[in-house]
Structure 1
Amino acid sequence: MKTLLEFEKPIAELEDKLIEMRKLALENNVDVTAAVASLTEKILELKKDTFSNLTRWQRVQLSRHPDRPYTFDYIEHLCEEFIEIHGDRNVGDDKAMVGGFGTIDGEMSVMFIGQQKGRNTKERQYRNFGMPNPEGYRKALRLMKMAEKFNKPIVCLIDTPGAFPGLEAEERGQGEAIARNIRDMFMLKVPVICVIIGEGASGGALGIAVGDRVLMMENTWYSVISPESCSSILWRSWNYKEQAAEALKLTANDMLANKLIDGIIPEPLGGAHLHPEEAAATLKEVLKKELAILSAIDPATRISQRIDKFGAMGEVIE
């Protein structure tokens, strides 16, 4: 059964009416071409109006839609071949952080790294709800170093509510693992593209988000804290999450306006969850274009530009 967000329901009601109209016309052999065309146009206009005027909180809801494509969904559409690589060679294999070599268009080999969520309760527990432990970030860095060794570009697909906050994660050095990733990603000699495909929360996202290009899918968010956590800190309640989302300015448009990302990847009308193949095709074209540009730049220049870009964030001149 299709999951509907509150603001999607009026559209769904009209779409159900359209299906019913076509069904009745078929059963009674009645020509309803004009009525179908009119209703189809009305649905399209409602979709355009709804999705061009979403609040920040509604964007957050879309980024978490249970039918939204996850890392493996995108990899499946992007790659003809994909070989997953496991383990950090130290503690274990974190199932929330995945990665491996994939081939785009049969000729371009890329190291894909990303957080993976689950579709049902069992999968979510297996993937720890997309929240990596320290070994997940150490696995990611191991794969980045491997890509650098073989001179292959890196694509990071970010979708996490944050790094796992458990006591055992802190005991194994969660902060150190994320900090090391941030430091070492600045110095990678190969092209690095980071794409927020869902949620981009706090250091959990930033641990694999230092790149030559940082891009966001249209209906995603990227922030130091989630709206719910912000609400609970400021108002001692989760009931103010909508106000928190507005104050945090966490959407793709906000991030681009503040020069914290390099671009926005458009999604199909209604969101990537409605047309995942189309969303993946758009992402593929963007990746191919950006990788071609970055590959033509000298590694030393690329590293220098990467450092300068992040160093300029938050810079104030009085």
Structure 2
Amino acid sequence: MAGVHVETGPALTTTPSPRLLGPAQIRGLAAELGVRPTKTLGQNFVHDANTVRRIVASAGVGTADRVLEVGPGLGSLTLALLGAAGSVEAVEIDPVLAARLPATVAEYAPAQQNSFEVITADALRISASDLTGEPTALVANLPYNVAVPVLLHLMSEVDSLQVALVMVQAEVADRLAAEPGSRVYGIPSVKARYFGRVSRAGSVGRNVFWPEPKVESGLVRIDRTDDYPRDAETRKQVFTVIDAAFAQRRKTLRAALAGWAGSPPQAEARLRAAGIDPSVRGERLGVADYVALARTALP
């Protein structure tokens, strides 16, 4: 019987996935660098591979995405992101940690090392021009002591961001995702919604961190929308109104916004012009109401 000749194409090759860090690797890197996690910088390092995989999956990033990561620390989440995204640019305030990251990526993700960059900077002070590319996604385990300011700053400054998936303290996650009228609805809730749809994306236990924090953690996702103006002047005015409304949250808006508007009668006039009942409190308004109010003060 004659043999059958089968034509075959070139062998398929796949890019090796990064190896992820576990508890032993995290402690080994910290010991090598002489790093002791500090409360000042909000350092709690994730050492659980399943947790970082879940964060990446919740972010939904793919090869078309350039990810901005804040506070990469020793690189746990960084490595998982490099396995899914097209590239990662990390912002790390600690110069010792920032200097070690490229070597960690070269060791654990050699196939992706050319897709990684790190800059040593304070995320609260960077702008889009400080970055080497235009990130499409923010994915980060944010330092808990500055989580909300960093999130709002980056969403304001980096217009190319289309999605944000951040890990924050559980109570902060609840506030960010709260709906109008909720007990925990406040300034972070409204400002986050200015940028897009906000949702809770899961919870994270304490045991996946080293050192183990005293609080539970939560994931929050923001999907960018174009519902509200992106220009800095409008956003500044909207945020000013939000701050004024919640500075005295137990007062009616007619009273709470008197300083912003000039006087209680002027506040009432602006509220009525925006179609808002002057006797309600700020916690009852959605972001669209605050945008309408801000527009009464814009030229």
Q: Same fold (TM over 0.5)?
A: no
Structure with greater proportional helix content: 1
TM-score, normalised via structure 1 length: 0.29
TM-score (norm 2): 0.30
The structure whose Rg is larger is 2
